[in-house]
């Protein structure tokens, strides 16, 4: 098939057109390209594939399939890799400080390659918590035709004599059960060996599946890309179609900022609320919007959350795994319902070149009538959002909680304070944390940590110890999408810059009220002011390298923890 493109207005003209670019073309000939192939648009295939964890091991093969889609569409694919880290392996130790930092490194690296190599568009393929928003931040910054492909979800594991379905959170919570003598060494070994059976991203509505759903609702991936198994024919078709779709965008002059509008971000927020998604979506969507030049803040999550119910009974707070949603037809039927009922904007453009409403009308996917995973709007799990934006004298610039309602809507208790995640985890495992405690973990914010570590290990230990309904947890760090219970993170201002969380003392009364969206440190205002006046900023934990640079540049959590705010 012959395709003709006028490269005079495409970025690749700078590396392939005219006599003065003869040296550049020599490199392409050295890689086996023909004159005709050099005349095509150059399309990047950005893969976050590596062998660090099952989340990313399929991505390079998927990238090869996307290459074919680009070729059939008339483009010349140029594959490259970006770095990625995996939160599950980084969890619970100092390595987790690099996780959120990697989002910025990934965005910077993709922007660097696409810009340097003069690519006319690209397909970005990610499968873990930070490479997905990292890809999207780069896409928004560059504003060249692009499609995101989600690597796909993992299948459930199978553990115990009852052959129960399991996933990675099953293993983290088993650590607490083991410490509480509820399971044996042999049972723990069985759980760790059989909970995650193969390739794909963590199997609940944790951060990876949350962000995949958000990107799909935004219109930046193809329909149902966010709800497919990593190892499936459907995912390979999605990869091929993404390559063809980016070529269509180049032909029609459609760019990401035509799609990533304020209304598109509102669609993303709406879908992740109905699915019971991760608190990390607040951080990442604000960062992505910043890169797209869209004004989005924590107040938008409050506004949309008031009218959007939780419908999906999925883990971590619910019963079902992501693959259960995949098996009944994925997210397309839910998006169709939300568009038809006016909860999502149907007139938003998508990477198909059609509107969201047109995509839903053209899709033949419907759920079985007897499915139990997603409730109807008339019978929600929760009538409004589980993502609660808090304010109050403890977090005057915001905090984010995931309150399903199962743990109650308010909690009052006495503070037990820790200066790191590790010390909190050991206190939980050693039974120093008691019923009625509000666990406070500070110096884990964007600057203080640095990097906002996720607290999956301590929250899972709480669940394993049977304290899920008896304690609360607040931090200036973050929570994994797998965390559940009465947990509030992203406390702003963080401890490192002198936020009120820095001066909490053991035994201070704290009240968390999800209905009023407030967190109150129960000491007199005069006492709080006096403590803050005596506070002195600690020295940075890092003075060289990527963590030091991130700590120096990052914004606060309420502004997405981005590194280019105000530049």
Exactly one of 47, 109, 213, 480 is catalytic; name it: 480
Nearest to 433 by CA among 447, 452, 413: 413
> Which strands form 146-150's sheet, in the order they lie side by side?
76-81, 42-47, 121-126, 146-150
- Alpha carbon distances (Å) from 449 to 283, 417, 439, 446, 538: 16, 16, 17, 6, 12
Of 187, 152, 151, nearest to 170 by C-alpha is 187
Question: Is residue 72 left, alpha or beta, with left meaning phi > 0 and alpha meaning psi from -120 to 50?
Answer: alpha
For residue 522, count other CB atoms closer than 10 A to its CB: 13
* Residue bearing tokens 């983290």: 172
Based on the residue annotation, tell me whether 480 is a catalytic residue of this protein: yes
List strand residue ranges (DSSP E) for 384-494, in order: 387-390, 399-402, 410-418, 437-441, 472-475, 486-489
Place of tokens 């607290």: 455
Query: Which residues are 46's β-sheet partners?
Result: 80, 124
539 is written with which tokens?
């020295």
The rounded distance, in Å, linking the Cα atoms of 41 and 16 is: 10
CB-CB contact of 45 with 72 (8 Å): no
DSSP string, 353-373: SSBHHHHHHH------TT--S
State the catalytic residues.
480
């Amino acid at each position: 098939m012959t395709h003709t493109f006028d490269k005079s207005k495409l970025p690749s003209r700078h590396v392939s057109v005219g006599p003065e670019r003869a040296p550049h073309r020599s490199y392409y000939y050295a890689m086996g390209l023909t004159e005709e192939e050099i005349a095509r648009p150059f399309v990047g295939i950005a893969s976050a594939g590596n062998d660090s964890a099952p989340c990313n091991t399929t991505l390079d093969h998927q990238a090869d399939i996307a290459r074919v889609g680009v070729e059939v569409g008339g483009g010349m694919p140029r594959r490259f890799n970006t770095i990625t880290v995996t939160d599950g392996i980084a969890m619970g130790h100092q390595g987790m400080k690099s996780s959120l930092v990697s989002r910025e490194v990934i965005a910077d690296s993709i922007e660097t390659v696409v810009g340097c190599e003069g690519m006319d568009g690209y397909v970005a393929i990610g499968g873990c918590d930070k490479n997905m928003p990292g890809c999207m931040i780069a896409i928004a910054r560059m504003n060249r035709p692009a499609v995101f492909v989600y690597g796909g979800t993992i299948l459930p594991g199978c553990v115990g004599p009852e052959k129960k379905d399991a996933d990675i959170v099953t293993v983290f919570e088993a650590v607490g059960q083991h410490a509480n003598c509820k399971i044996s060494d042999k049972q723990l070994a069985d759980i760790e060996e059989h909970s995650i059976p193969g390739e794909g991203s963590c199997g609940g509505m944790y951060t990876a599946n949350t962000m995949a759903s958000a990107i799909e609702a935004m219109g930046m991936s193809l329909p149902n890309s966010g709800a497919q198994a990593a190892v499936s024919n459907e995912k390979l078709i999605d990869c091929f179609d993404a390559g063809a779709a980016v070529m269509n965008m180049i032909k029609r002059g459609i760019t990401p900022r035509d799609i990533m509008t304020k209304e598109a971000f509102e669609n993303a927020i709406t879908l992740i609320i109905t699915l019971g998604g991760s608190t990390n979506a607040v951080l990442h969507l604000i960062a992505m919007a910043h890169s797209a030049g869209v004004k989005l803040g924590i107040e938008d999550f409050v506004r949309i959350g008031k009218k959007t119910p939780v419908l999906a009974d999925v883990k971590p707070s619910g019963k079902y795994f992501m693959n259960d949603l995949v098996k009944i037809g994925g997210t397309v039927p839910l998006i169709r319902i939300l568009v038809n009922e006016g909860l999502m904007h149907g007139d938003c453009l998508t990477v198909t070149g059609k509107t969201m409403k047109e995509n839903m009308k053209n899709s033949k996917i419907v759920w079985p009538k007897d499915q139990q995973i997603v409730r109807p709007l008339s019978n929600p799990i929760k009538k409004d959002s589980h993502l609660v934006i808090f304010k109050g004298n403890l977090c005057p610039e915001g905090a984010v909680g995931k309150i399903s309602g199962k743990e109650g809507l308010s909690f009052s208790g006495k503070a037990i304070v820790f200066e790191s995640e590790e010390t909190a985890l050991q206190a939980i495992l050693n039974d120093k944390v008691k019923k009625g405690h509000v666990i406070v973990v500070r110096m884990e914010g964007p600057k203080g940590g640095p990097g906002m570590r996720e607290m999956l290990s301590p929250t899972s230990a709480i669940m394993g110890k049977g304290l899920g309904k008896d304690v609360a947890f607040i931090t200036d760090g973050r929570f994994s999408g797998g965390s559940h219970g009465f947990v509030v993170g992203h406390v702003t201002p963080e401890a490192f810059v002198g936020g009120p969380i820095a001066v909490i003392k053991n035994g201070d009364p704290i009240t968390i009220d999800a209905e009023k969206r407030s967190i109150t440190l129960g000491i007199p205002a005069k006492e709080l002011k006096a403590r803050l006046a005596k506070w002195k900023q600690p020295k940075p934990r890092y003075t060289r390298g990527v963590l030091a640079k991130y700590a120096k540049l990052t914004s606060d959590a309420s502004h997405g923890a981005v590194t280019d705010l105000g530049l």
